[in-house]
Structure 1
């Protein structure tokens, strides 16, 4: 059992809200997180059948990928689908939290799970949406405690540059201070100027690490007031974005690749654009509706583009560009259900939280193949 806010705080460490594209409908949509949570259900969609499943399984919190409320509700009653869903959730004290494009964009999220499913390697972001800021942190520490603070910074994740971790620079010097009335200095006495052998430790910190690193630094630092600087750096940060582009282990024909996609996602059929015999090696993939990024996939050199909800005229555009497209449908994003459960299981175990994680089994795919 855990507080609902604690559950979501752990989840947002993985898929922070600031990664969502502007205007996306994410976060808590129905109910309250200010309650004890015993059972969490993960789902792609929040349909009425999913809510009925949640009621039957005594779920306290639903984590969904697709928002059940896309636009403001004029009324909340049983005359609309969204109204029925909202009423049922409130009546049974079920909170609904949505992680949409932030779950697509985050490292190890939907688009990475989809890339892994079809065996892409050396993947990069297809459509950059967020370049995470990097800061230079400088902290002044008495030389006797420099090792402790240095180690705390590294354990909190500071100092990651490219393929190198725990990058730091140190310089020794003399620190001077005068404690004032009411202070309880670690070194010295009030109203007496002190000079201390100190070490200046410099390292880099990403935006998403800032709070964690600063807390670790202050916890390890012996001084009552920690002297430090935090300045925005021009180092290129980690790039987040929609979709991925990478290579298959070995080239295959479009006909073979389409069958591979079909098998990998366990779907009954796929729609294919392009010559069945053409060779496919470099592949772009984007979960959900990827119509807007056909030209991006082509520009970045993809032989084939895997996405859902392909429009008729966009398919013509792809043909004109010479880009093959495989459309396995929007519902393949349901791969997020097991993915989220795997992530949260590890986080709950580390935090010593005992919460049941349940994958929704309600079928929310509106399409059938006959």
Structure 2
């Protein structure tokens, strides 16, 4: 099988789950071990990286691992190969296997961990539970001769300007007259040196996320016929690309908390769940946060959720949830394993569309530390 540079693979991953949307301070995301500056033909996707996962990567010929949980969560004081962690890092390095971690950025990303959990629970009318990221919109107003307006509009749309909700290529135009006098040294597209010029022009206005500013301006300058285009640039108070942690949605049909708990067990493939609340209460609206969601019980309550599905629920937080009338179903932290299949399928699609030759393999190692008896 042909191989692809590791940087090109991660570039595709970060087009979907960029580092900037991570919502935990100093989240150790990105390349944790090894190098991406090498050929990669196979990528192993896993929730965690332990020695068994490393052995699996070696056996399957993978040069790169993409994991949800960072293998190095805190800064290392030393790197001793006579410790379990040091032995793991040594094995990965000796076999030239790079490890890339996508933690809270993958939680927040559209189609990431929390959407995958919401999909599994079959939630409808889905919304973000807790907003953690947004960009401000910017507006570009550019003046162009009438006969070049359509060309410029198309170039701006191709660069991502004018995308509003479920619509793209949005713009607004007004017509008027532009006046200018070319000076010595100019190379005017219209007019003569030293002579006043008046021409029919169109003012085109488009909005775009702030992160697209450089791309949009470059497209405008490349498509504009003038040597020195006239344009205005504004930062707007309007938010764009709103993203966040957790999801809240509704069940197709209400069910009792007891039946819903069974639904969670079946859909998330877990043998046991912990439940807080009246098992006979009807459940319609559900909030979910993958991993440890203890600090989001009040967000779930504000969102109108009847039940909150999350892992690692603390005793006193469970009591707090009970006191505010919020039911809890705790299926454990390990349900984030849904990302293994989800990431592998998403990355296969992205890399195929980008004509990158690489295979994404789903880890078969169970990294759940708990045994349910």
TM-score, length-scaled by structure 2: 0.91
Shift of 1:336: 1.0
1:276 aligns with 2:279: yes
**Match among 3, 6, 11 for residue 4 of structure 1:** 6
Aligned to 1:313: 316
Whole-Å separation in 1 of the counterparts to 2:45 and 2:215: 27
Whole-Å separation in 1 of the counterparts to 2:228 and 2:86: 53
1:73 aligns with 2:76: yes
Aligned to 2:366: 363
Residues 198-219 of structure 1: CA deviation (Å, up to 9, x unaligned): 3221111013443443444444
Whole-Å separation in 2 of the counterparts to 1:241 and 1:162: 17
Q: 156-165 vs 29-38, which deviates more?
A: 156-165
Structure 2: where are the runs of 5+ without partners? none
Aligned to 1:104: 107
Whole-Å separation in 2 of the counterparts to 1:189 and 1:36: 55
Say if 1:271 and 1:357 are closer, same or farther in 2 by CA, change over 3 A. Answer: same
Aligned to 1:13: 15
1:152 aligns with 2:147: no
Residues 119-149 of structure 1: CA deviation (Å, up to 9, x unaligned): 1111111111112221112233332222122
Q: Is the 8 A contact 1:140 1:199 kept in 2?
A: yes
SS in 2 for 1:255: helix
**Match among 134, 139, 142 for residue 131 of structure 1:** 134
Q: 203-212 vs 125-134, which deviates more?
A: 203-212
Residues 30-62 of structure 1: CA deviation (Å, up to 9, x unaligned): 111222222222111111111111112221221
Q: Is the 8 A contact 1:262 1:268 kept in 2?
A: yes
Structure 1: where are the runs of 5+ without partners? none
SS in 2 for 1:306: strand
**Match among 226, 230, 234 for residue 233 of structure 2:** 230
1:241 aligns with 2:244: yes
Whole-Å separation in 1 of the counterparts to 2:210 and 2:271: 42
Over aligned residues, Cα RMSD in angstroms? 2.3
Q: Is the 8 A contact 1:124 1:246 kept in 2?
A: yes
SS in 2 for 1:69: coil
TM-score, length-scaled by structure 1: 0.92
Q: 204-213 vs 260-269, which deviates more?
A: 204-213
Aligned to 1:255: 258
Residues 270-301 of structure 1: CA deviation (Å, up to 9, x unaligned): 11111111100011100000011112212222
Say if 1:73 and 1:196 are closer, same or farther in 2 by CA, change over 3 A. Answer: same
Q: 261-270 vs 173-182, which deviates more?
A: 173-182
Say if 1:279 and 1:217 are closer, same or farther in 2 by CA, change over 3 A. Answer: same
Query: How do 1:1-370 residues align onto structure 2 when only pairs under 5 Å count?
Result: 1-21=3-23, 22-175=25-178, 196-223=199-226, 226-370=229-373
Shift of 1:177: 5.7
Shift of 1:155: 3.3
Whole-Å separation in 2 of the counterparts to 1:11 and 1:134: 24
Whole-Å separation in 1 of the counterparts to 2:69 and 2:84: 15
Residues 312-367 of structure 1: CA deviation (Å, up to 9, x unaligned): 22112122222111111111111111211222222212211111111111111111
Q: Is the 8 A contact 1:132 1:240 kept in 2?
A: no
Say if 1:65 and 1:172 are closer, same or farther in 2 by CA, change over 3 A. Answer: same
Say if 1:152 and 1:285 are closer, same or farther in 2 by CA, change over 3 A. Answer: same
